Amino acid sequence: MARWIFVRFGFFLSTSEFLISGHSQEKQYATMGVPALFRWLSKKYPKIISPVIEEEAVEIGGIIRPPSYANPNPNGELDNLYLDMNGIVHPCSHPEHKPAPETEDEMMLDVFKYTDRVLNMARPRKILMIAVDGVAPRAKMNQQRSRRFRSAQEAKLANEERERQIAERETRGEQIDLAIKGKKSWDSNAITPGTPFMDTLASALRYWVAYKLASDPGWANLQVIISDATVPGEGEHKIMGFIRSQRSDPEHDPNTSHCIYGLDADLIFLGLATHEPHFRVLREDVFAQDNRSMRLKDQLTITDDMRARIEENDAKKPFLWLHVSILREYLEVELSVPRLPFKFDLERAIDDWVFMCFFVGNDFLPHLPSLDVRDNGIDILINIWKRSLPSLGGYMTKDGHIDLGIVEKLMQQLGTQEDGIFRKRYENERRREDNNKRYKAEREQNAAIRNQFMSSVSKGQDKAPLQPNQNIPLYTPGGQSVGQTHMSNHEVVANRAAVTIANMENKNVAEMLKANLLKKPDSVSAASAVEVKAEDAALPVDVSEASAGDKRTASAISSDSESDLNGDARLWQPGYRRRYYQMKFHTTDEDEIERIRHDMVKCYCEGISWVLLYYYQGCPSWSWYYPYHYAPFAADFEGLAGTKVTFELGKPILPFEQLMSVLPAASGHNLPEIFRPLMSDPNSEIIDFYPEDFAIDMNGKKMSWQGIALLPFIDAQRLLTAVRAQYQFLSEAEKDRNALKHEELFISCHNKNFARFNEELYLKQTTARITFPSSNTGLAGEVYPNELYANTRCMPYKLREGDYEDIPNNAYMRIGYEMPPKAEGKSMLLTGFISHLRAITQEDRDAIMYSGNGGYHRNNRGYQNKVTEDYKKYVGPASESMYGLRVGGYKAFLQLYQQQQQQPVQANYAPSYNNSQGYHSSQGYQSNQGYQHNQNRGGYGGRGRGRGGYHGGSNGHNGGHNGGYNNHNGNRGSYQQSGYQRRDDYRR
């Protein structure tokens, strides 16, 4: 029977996770770790990232004038900005690198400030969409639940540690500020739809938008859509749905530029999935050095000066753009596979790439054991795809629908590699551990030497011990004593649960410690403190690869699969599949394993279909979820051809129902009182959904947050019945918080549509709804009157902090907004799309095409090489036509002729032209001058479009007339020169 670490709320995970906020930003826990993916992308495709240029505030006559929104944007102009608001609310309400705001109202002010800064960077001219996470589909809730349970845990630990540290300092004689002392960390679980906090946020956002529309001249034409927590759907998906809806309007401008702000790496895929190529992602600079979390002890001793300094740094922290447009350029090269039996379609290849990225990590499914984003998982999958695309017979995806038969083929290929992947991973890890150990041993030696010679030098108060170290005896499994640990009091506190349990159960402490070892790779002292005089004979070591003399590695100590503490099925060893299923499902019955395996694969296929549809077409089912904590192996994917996956849409649940589904009992204060007993009363009919104890399966991982929380899956029916029974007892205000509502549109009185909307919807009330296309203002949809706006005279300022006033209703307009009706999204470029100026060079292309996997390691450390080039020129359409100039066209010919005139020394060109009299350049037609004019205008002149100009074009015109066109199977010459070298490479 495999063993888990039983977690009580007192289990302390690691020093480095001590954060005053209780847990770091939710998104950081995503299996697609934000930094990991960003780092991978920026290394592989370096030119996609550029710094955000912010205009400086100008001081005129002693007054500091902030940069004007109406000024041209030094980063290039932008039409639409989408804010994934949770990416702003989280860092403002529980920041990591500075003390948190004192009150919720202060948090709102921080949100205003931060949002204002983001807006001034982006300066959207047409549309601003503010999307806050609403009720999520069930598939997402499982992950939300596991995160919140664990974060509540951590919050409790953080508080305990805080108390302890305060007590410690006070015994040393330090004075701790009463304000800091009394503070309890804020429960970030309040950032869930339906809580009073979200209500405050909703009205604060509306106020702020009205305020800006009324006061900032740069906002005159901006149309602001607010989709807050009362509108169901995750923020980024509401944004996706909006973009899709605008694309279905025939008047939608195909060259609309979009930018999305948010913390999630998913946003990059979202941008690609829209197939709106003028797309950027805006986010804080993840690579900037100063992103360390503020340590607890700093927080306790913070001074006003430090606070001021932090604020200042905060206001200057850099942001960056991720240009999806340039990423598309790279992908065009990366994904071009030669010798395809079907037509190459870049948009569909991109969809396949996005699909593979999702496959390796998403919020809804555990990733396959062999595919880990931190372990090159994406590259592995993509390389298989590139190699096998010709034999796959087609793309895996089509407009968000998956061809499972083709996916199976890919999985089978991956399956053959799985053994190797696990082995290699293990080897790399071993090597890393060995290096670490060696390094630590060296450090300790040096420290010991120092101690010896400098023991008289005082090291300061902090090092003065307050309590004697606790020594805990160690025994081998065989019962022999092998020494003692020297754990510092930190670790004693930390491990007290483990120690207690161990002592109580008389278990092998060495094993417990080994488990700790695995969780704290950077906890030096614990590792070095273990003196294990192992007697190899007594220990059945079954890993032959153990390096000599290193008895301390976890695997060396492991006895057999049964006593494996951290859920590690030892995938590098043969028989791992059987072991895995046996361990995870606690059974050895082959038939049952087969049945489970089969079901897991079926559900997983449903899962990947669901995820893709979620991104490309909108949520396919509000109630579907993946009912397992683990993923199958790639080799298990078989017999899928012809499988059709269908979903029942269902509908979203209400906010309180979601809260009850994701919150642990400790966060119950976010819910109306009436529900709290359901979570904590032992007699509650759904108490089994809220365990105080739950297991965490580390599943072979090292970092604590990578472990899987084994919470029971909620039975929706039971939960809903229990919760709905309480609705009659809710107050009116509470009922209102529980309602599902709709988007709202805010415009200023200068907007082109203002007059008509005002007259027909509010003043004369002649129509109930107005439908409008996007040609006027860049926004399409339907509007209807908003009751609150119609029945009030102003937008009140409700916060208790800050210096703002009520906004009169005639300074802005608030209307109900509905997007154009849902249309089936198609992964195609729209007609009229004009490409941006190409940023990658032939050298970049070669780097991708010819250096295979390791190419991106070569000469760049990613974004660390600061970009100095002005990226503004890469933003927006670069010419006036959607078509590239190609040989054969009239304008192309003129340009060619023009160029040729300027270089009369083209030996093989001149003869054909000499044949026709009167066309020689020198015949006084002032052709060059005359034409220069046009050339600069239409932009079809030398703007250096990466597709290549006509540099070698002359060769194609040998002999003039028949050129290369008569036998177009033969002479590729003319096309090569016209810059389609890349295309020709298909024929390699």
Site for another protein in 895-924 (CB under 8 A): 897-898, 901, 912-913, 916, 919, 921, 924
Number of chain positions touching another protein (CB under 8 A): 71
Q: Which of 220-228, 490-498, 717-725, 978-986 is the region at the interface with another protein (rule: CB under 8 A)?
A: 978-986
Three-state secondary-structure class, residue 895: helix
Q: Which amino acid is at 986?
A: Y
Across 737-780, the runs of DSSP E, i.e. the strands, are 744-748, 770-772
Ordered DSSP codes for 601-651: HHHHHHHHHHHHHHHHTS-S-SS-----SS---GGG--S-TT---------
Output 742 or 937, the one with its CB closest to another protein: 937
Contacts of 89 (CB under 8 A, 6+ apart): 107, 111, 132, 191, 201
Output 22 or 820, the one with its CB closest to another protein: 820
Rounded Cα gap, residues 236 and 137, in angstroms: 13
759 binds another protein (CB under 8 A): no
- In eight-state DSSP terms, residue 838 is P
Q: Taking the CA of residue 634 as centre, how many other CA atoms within 13 Å lie in the half-sphere pointing to its CB?
A: 27
Q: Which ranges of 760-865 does DSSP label H, i.e. alpha helix? A: 787-791, 842-850
Q: Which of 106-114, 294-302, 593-601, 962-970 is the region at the interface with another protein (rule: CB under 8 A)?
A: 962-970
- Closest C-alpha among 229, 242, 235 to residue 739: 229
Binders in 66-105 for another protein, by CB under 8 A: none
716 binds another protein (CB under 8 A): no
930 binds another protein (CB under 8 A): yes
985 with 845: CB under 8 angstroms?
no
Give me the least distance between CB of 555 and another protein, in Å please.
52
988 binds another protein (CB under 8 A): no
Three-state secondary-structure class, residue 50: strand
943 binds another protein (CB under 8 A): no
Q: Which of 642, 890, 902, 903 is in the footprint of another protein by CB under 8 A? A: 890
- Closest C-alpha among 316, 318, 355 to residue 335: 355
Rounded Cα gap, residues 20 and 651, in angstroms: 37
Give me the least distance between CB of 913 and another protein, in Å please.
7
Output 55 or 782, the one with its CB closest to another protein: 782
894 binds another protein (CB under 8 A): yes
Cα dist from 944 to 49, 796, 837, 894, whole Å: 21, 54, 8, 17
Give me the least distance between CB of 19 and another protein, in Å please.
47
298 binds another protein (CB under 8 A): no
776 binds another protein (CB under 8 A): yes
CB atoms within 10 A of CB 449: 10
Binders in 329-368 for another protein, by CB under 8 A: 343, 345-346
Helix (H) or strand (E) holding 475, with range, is strand 470-475
831 binds another protein (CB under 8 A): yes
754 binds another protein (CB under 8 A): no
Ordered DSSP codes for 229-291: TTSSS-HHHHHHHHHHHHHTSTT--TT--EEEE-S-THHHHHHHHHT-SSEEEEEE-TT-TT-
Q: Which of 275-283, 597-605, 802-810, 959-967 is the region at the interface with another protein (rule: CB under 8 A)?
A: 959-967
773 with 780: CB under 8 angstroms?
yes
Give me the least distance between CB of 643 and another protein, in Å please.
21
Q: Which of 97-105, 170-178, 435-443, 827-835 is the region at the interface with another protein (rule: CB under 8 A)?
A: 827-835
Q: Which of 292, 339, 764, 987 is in the footprint of another protein by CB under 8 A? A: 987
Rounded Cα gap, residues 418 and 324, in angstroms: 32
Output 140 or 945, the one with its CB closest to another protein: 945
Output 485 or 935, the one with its CB closest to another protein: 935
Give me the least distance between CB of 317 and another protein, in Å please.
40
955-971 b/e with 16+ CB inside 10 Å = b? ebbbeeeebbeeeeeeb
Rounded Cα gap, residues 626 and 624, in angstroms: 7
Q: Which of 150-158, 559-567, 688-696, 980-988 is the region at the interface with another protein (rule: CB under 8 A)?
A: 980-988
- Quote the tokens at residue 62: 């002693």
Rounded Cα gap, residues 497 and 517, in angstroms: 15
Q: Which of 341, 420, 832, 904 is in the footprint of another protein by CB under 8 A? A: 832
Q: Which of 927, 955, 971, 981 is in the footprint of another protein by CB under 8 A? A: 927
Ordered DSSP codes for 523-572: -HHHHHH------GGGS----TTPPTT---SHHHH---GGG-TT----TT
- Quote the tokens at residue 600: 């897991």
φ and ψ at 784, to 5 degrees?
-145, 160
Left if phi > 0, otherwise alpha if psi is -120 to 50, otherwise beta: which for 183?
beta
Give me the least distance between CB of 239 and another protein, in Å please.
19
**Mask of contacts with another protein, 389-418, x by CB under 8 A?**
---------xx-------------------
Q: Which of 42, 523, 753, 786 is in the footprint of another protein by CB under 8 A? A: 753
Q: Which of 455-463, 524-532, 591-599, 953-961 is the region at the interface with another protein (rule: CB under 8 A)?
A: 953-961
Give me the least distance between CB of 872 and another protein, in Å please.
24
885 binds another protein (CB under 8 A): yes
Give me the least distance between CB of 267 and another protein, in Å please.
24
Rounded Cα gap, residues 554 and 519, in angstroms: 11
Output 794 or 829, the one with its CB closest to another protein: 829
837 binds another protein (CB under 8 A): no
852 with 821: CB under 8 angstroms?
no
Q: Which of 826, 862, 876, 973 is in the footprint of another protein by CB under 8 A? A: 826
467 binds another protein (CB under 8 A): no
Give me the least distance between CB of 983 and another protein, in Å please.
6
893 binds another protein (CB under 8 A): yes
Q: Which of 63-71, 121-129, 633-641, 966-974 is the region at the interface with another protein (rule: CB under 8 A)?
A: 966-974
Give me the least distance between CB of 590 and another protein, in Å please.
45
Q: Which of 214, 830, 837, 867 is in the footprint of another protein by CB under 8 A? A: 830
Handedness of CA 688, 691, 697, 698 (dihedral sign): positive
Instruction: Give the relative orientation of helices 346-360 and 266-274 as an angle to the nearest 10 degrees.
Output: 160
772 binds another protein (CB under 8 A): yes
Q: Which of 447, 925, 936, 942 is in the footprint of another protein by CB under 8 A? A: 925
Cα dist from 641 to 144, 336, 410, 534, 637, whole Å: 33, 26, 12, 53, 10
Q: Which of 886, 906, 939, 971 is in the footprint of another protein by CB under 8 A? A: 886
485 with 511: CB under 8 angstroms?
no
Contacts of 812 (CB under 8 A, 6+ apart): 209, 210, 213, 214, 746, 747, 748, 749, 795
- Quote the tokens at residue 182: 């009394």
Give me the least distance between CB of 921 and another protein, in Å please.
7
Give me the least distance between CB of 772 and another protein, in Å please.
5
Q: Which of 469, 623, 881, 906 is in the footprint of another protein by CB under 8 A? A: 881
Binders in 237-256 for another protein, by CB under 8 A: 247-251
957 binds another protein (CB under 8 A): yes
Three-state secondary-structure class, residue 749: coil
Looking up tokens 């629908």, which residue turns up? 401
479 binds another protein (CB under 8 A): no
861 binds another protein (CB under 8 A): no
CA distance from start to end of the chain: 56
Give me the least distance between CB of 254 and another protein, in Å please.
9
Binders in 541-600 for another protein, by CB under 8 A: none
104 with 799: CB under 8 angstroms?
no
Q: Which of 359-367, 810-818, 858-866, 960-968 is the region at the interface with another protein (rule: CB under 8 A)?
A: 960-968
